[in-house]
Amino acid sequence: MASSAPLSWAPVDWVDPNGGIIRLWPFLPNVVYSTALRRTEGKWDGVAFLLPDDEAEIWDSQAVEERSSPGINRDAVISSGGTLARMMLGMSAIESIQTCKFPDPEPRRILQAAMSPSGKGDRPFFFIEPEDEDWTEWVEACADEMVRLKHLTRSIFSGRIWRKMLRDSIRKTGPPHSERDDEKAGGFAQASALAAAWWARSESVLTEDLQRQRDLRLASRLRGALGLLSGGQIDDEDTPVLLVPVMQAWLPSILAALKQTPLSENLGGEEE
């Protein structure tokens, strides 16, 4: 479900017909945002992460590791090779902004904001990746697809494929208008292209049907999270907003899934 549209730095609001707003907020993985970019998230009442519910524990573990040995997670990714390592290597060469940071800075910052008693106080948060038989079957189908001969063959030429995808990504991205510092804006544009190339390469090993299944399931669960947040509140003067941090290059696909208005999936009280 790849999109050829330019990558956006601005959040996108989707209005649920049952009430409430799902705000898709684009971020770059492992990149520290400037204050100007962080302000674009706007006001929100709860947050949903497109991640499993043990992700917060992983972030805490990475934070401990980084305090003991700064850069250990970045070095581990780079040494493992593959497309993610190529993204990290490219980002590590950008000097105008902070990159290759673990735990992932923006999602964790937003989780901490949701848990903070200051400001608006504690706000609900959800980790919406499912844990059931249907999802397990989807994961297994992805694994089967990834080991198909054509993908094993393509991996031989992964360097050439990476360079092509990076060129394509550069054409689709640009500096964020909200960032007034030209050097920082240029750095964010570079990081955006690298992240988009990594995402495109990762998606290329999945069929469109597998991508569609994933995005529709997550969109359905986002609607379920919004339902828990809003509790049926549809007052236009106080419409609840569910913030969803989503990788910039993935955002168009999640938005397309929401626009299909999949049935809301009951999360069964999975609010944290």
DSSP structure string for the chain: ----SPP--S-EEEE-TTS-EEEEEEE-TT-PPPHHHHGGG---SEEEESS-TTHHHHHHHHHHHHHHSTTHHHHHHHHH-HHHHHHHHHHHT--SS--S-SS-HHHHHHHHHHH-SSTT----EEE----SHHHHHHHHHHHHHHTSHHHHHHHHTHHHHHHHHHHHHHHH----TT---HHHHHHHHHHHHHHHHHHHHHHTTS-HHHHHHHHHHHHHHHHHHHHHHHTT---GGG--EEEEEEETTTHHHHHHHHHT-PPPPP--S---
Structure tokens at 136: 């397990």
CA distance 142 to 153: 17
Q: Calculate mean pLDDT across residues 150-156.
A: 65
The answer on pLDDT for 5 being more than 90 is: no
pLDDT (mean) for 9-13: 97
The token pair at 111 is 């989780």
Task: Tell me the β-bridge partners of 242.
Answer: 22, 46
How much is the pLDDT for 242? 97
Pick the residue with more confidence: 252 or 116?
Answer: 252
Q: Please compute the mean of the pLDDT values over residues 148-167 and round it to a whole number.
A: 77
Single-letter amino acid code for the residue at 38: R
Whether the per-residue pLDDT at 27 is higher than 80: the answer is yes
pLDDT of residue 236: 47
8-19 as b/e: b if 16+ CB within 10 A? ebebbebebeeb
Q: CB 202: neighbour CB atoms within 10 A? A: 16
Q: What is the pTM of this model?
A: 0.92
Q: What is the pLDDT of residues 32-46, one digit of tens each?
A: 999 999 999 999 999
pLDDT, tens digit (0-9, with 9 covering 90-100), for 177-196: 999 999 999 999 999 999 99
pLDDT tens sequence across 205-222: 899 999 999 999 999 999
Which band of pLDDT confidence, cut at 50, 70 and 90, is reported for residue 119?
low
Q: Which residues pair with 49 in a beta bridge?
A: 127
Region 130-159: what's the mean pLDDT?
83
Q: Compute the distance between CA of residue 226 and CA of residue 21 in angstroms, rounded to an integer.
A: 8
Return mean pLDDT, the chain: 91
